[in-house]
Structure 1
Amino acid sequence: MRLPNDTGKPMLRQRFYFENNWYYVTDPWALVDLQVHGKDITYFVPYWFGATEQGTLSDQSDPDTLATLQQLGLPVVALVYNLAGAIHKILTIPSLRQTLIINILNMLLSKRFIGVNVDFEFVPPEDRQYLTMFMAELYTALKPYGLLVTISVPPELKDDPAHPFSGAFSYSDLARYSDQLYLLAYDEHVAIPGPIASYGFVRQVLTYALSVIPREKIRLGMAVYGRDWSPGTELPRELSFEEAITTASRHGVAIRYDEEAQESTYTYTANGVNHIVWFEDVRSFAVKLNLAFQEGIMGIAVWRLGLEDPRIWELLRMR
């Protein structure tokens, strides 16, 4: 079978260990998706644990998902994120860093999870050294227990310590204190309309990452969602694949696959307002999955379960 990609050549078959990791946010559709496709997932990465200003964890795990995970025997890498306004204080005060690390360790051990994914956003660039320090201390605390230490990092095309969103993340330093880095090679366009993750953008992000991170530690972050932009709104509306398809059908517009971006798009008008939609589907996913194979990347991290084109699962089972 031939799969769509940028060269028109058959997609590479997997000849090495490859992880299929999925982020998860609790909602009914995502739970159904987990029940159906959980057997095809390597690591389950639930967005459940918020770090507070006191270094404690706000636990949003739910019994139904936990029961399903137990039935599947699916390994969990618990995602720890920063609650609004908490991150600077946590990172820069040594006692709070230690409190959070102890709470992460206790959470992983008590719930029998295999590791942690640190997903800190909006870290001030001036806190760069403290983020690296936190990961070093976390790594030192967790590795004696055989726990996996991973971190989600924003896309970078070069090291820019002053960048307001990604400046705090030193790929090379963080790689020293992480087993894996989830390279979030998406959100190319948010404020203005454009591809979620064009092929050229993903290739550039991956090329830079490979120059400073050991290849075996990289997991390519992949999107499976879409966005709907309209004038007068501060942020676009996030769409699942199904919502993107349904919206196009409801408005009677054709979906166009952009060969340069390697992503699907369309426009429509509702109540006199023009909308622009870009979204990921199995074709765009296949192109970027093929890139990961070509570059010898050992796995992907997908945002997020329940939003995807269902044909992606067939693609993943072929590898």
Structure 2
Amino acid sequence: MLQVQKENNWYYVSTTQALTDLRLHAHEIDNLVPFWFGVTEQGTLVDQSQPEALQVARANNLPILAIVHNYSDPQMSELIHELLTTPALRENLVNSIENMLVSRGFAGVNIDFEFVPPPDRPALNAFMENLYRRLSPRFRVTISVPAELQENPQHPFSGAFDYGTLAMLADELFILAYDEHFSTPGPVASIGFVRRVLDYAITRIPRNKIKLGMAVYGYDWVAAGGMPRTLTYNEAIALARQYGATITYDEQAQESTFTYTANGVQHIVWFEDARSFSAKLDLVNEYNLGGIAVWRLGQEDPRVWNVIRAKLKTR
């Protein structure tokens, strides 16, 4: 099997730590994927770009795949439904994306639409077809897609995303193979879960078009239940130290975990570190994928950069 060239892509949210890490590692990143352009109900874009990050990217000749997302509106599913199912609005959005890429000189776009209603699958495909026809090959067209274990058009979160069709209407699919557990405690992305996601993905998507979405954060749950809070790697380590907790590496999940008690309440933490990152990076090589897309810069164990240098061919 011919070895696929592997890319090291990083998602970016405009935080102080992310900017610090960007300055440190811009020369090691193949594409920056910044969360900068929200959609509006008219099909226009809200520019949330960070001038300092743009300056660093340009100084390092770092290509930008600008994220176009629907987090700009609290009614995410209603907004994206209207944009995707109304032909005139769909056309407006394609025009807006093209104008943004041309005026900013970006390398391409990453479509990151969440909570797309499952019945809107044909409309999402139609939007991506319009976008791909308009932009390719001048710009790279990529899309972030939820992790799927099987074809299920009715799935409430991932049903709208047809891997096979989207693979023909995009240059790459960034498969977000994390958040395996969210409403209940458990690994952010166990190695078995990621393997099952990839086992299905390679039946629908050419391997060179797959970028494995990798997490570098953690979650802190109250054992009794409820939504977790997100932790960076550094926050997870500091929390364990604060409460004298023993961090254990779960060999089956290939991820780190610990428990602690605060104010009489038991907490359960699972988080990604260099060791768990390395285990998943091995899958990228094993499955001969097109690379990685890491959520997100500024949250990572600093040692992951050593892992990337050792295991992934970078720019």
TM-score computed with the length of structure 2 as normaliser: 0.95
Where do 1:121-200 residues align within 5 Å? 121-144=114-137, 146-200=138-192
Q: Counterpart of 2:39 in structure 1: which amino acid? A: A
CA distance in 2, matches of 1:63, 1:171: 34
Q: Which moved more, 1:229-238 or 1:91-100?
A: 229-238
Question: Where has structure 1 moved over 3 Å in runs of 4 or more?
Answer: 231-234
Contact 2:4 2:289 in 1 (8 A): no
CA distance in 2, matches of 1:224, 1:102: 34
Aligned length: 305
CA distance in 2, matches of 1:16, 1:311: 25
Distance 1:256 1:312, change over 3 A: same
Partner residue of 1:35 out of 23, 29, 39: 23
Report how far residue 16 of structure 1 moved. Answer: 4.9
Gaps of 5+ in 2: none
The answer to whether structure 1 residue 253 and structure 2 residue 241 are counterparts is no
CA distances 1:83-133 after superposition (whole Å, capped 9, x unpaired): 333100000000000000000000011110000000000000010100011
Report how far residue 231 of structure 1 moved. Answer: 4.9
Contact 2:184 2:225 in 1 (8 A): no
CA distance in 2, matches of 1:123, 1:233: 27
Query: RMSD between aligned alpha carbons?
Result: 1.3
TM-score computed with the length of structure 1 as normaliser: 0.94
CA distances 1:247-280 after superposition (whole Å, capped 9, x unpaired): 0001001001000000000000001111000000
Report how far residue 232 of structure 1 moved. Answer: 6.5
Matching residue of 1:79: 67
CA distance in 2, matches of 1:90, 1:298: 30
Report how far residue 244 of structure 1 moved. Answer: 0.4
The answer to whether structure 1 residue 107 and structure 2 residue 95 are counterparts is no
Partner residue of 2:304 out of 303, 308, 312: 312
Contact 2:223 2:268 in 1 (8 A): no
CA distance in 2, matches of 1:265, 1:308: 16
Give the SS at the match of 2:202. helix
Report how far residue 72 of structure 1 moved. Answer: 1.2
Matching residue of 1:96: 89
Partner residue of 2:33 out of 38, 45, 64: 45
Report how far residue 56 of structure 1 moved. Answer: 0.7
Q: Counterpart of 1:276 in structure 2: which amino acid? A: I
Partner residue of 2:45 out of 57, 69, 77: 57
Q: Counterpart of 2:126 in structure 1: which amino acid? A: M
Q: Which moved more, 1:193-202 or 1:212-221?
A: 212-221
Gaps of 5+ in 1: 1-14
CA distances 1:49-90 after superposition (whole Å, capped 9, x unpaired): 001111010110011111111111110000000133310000
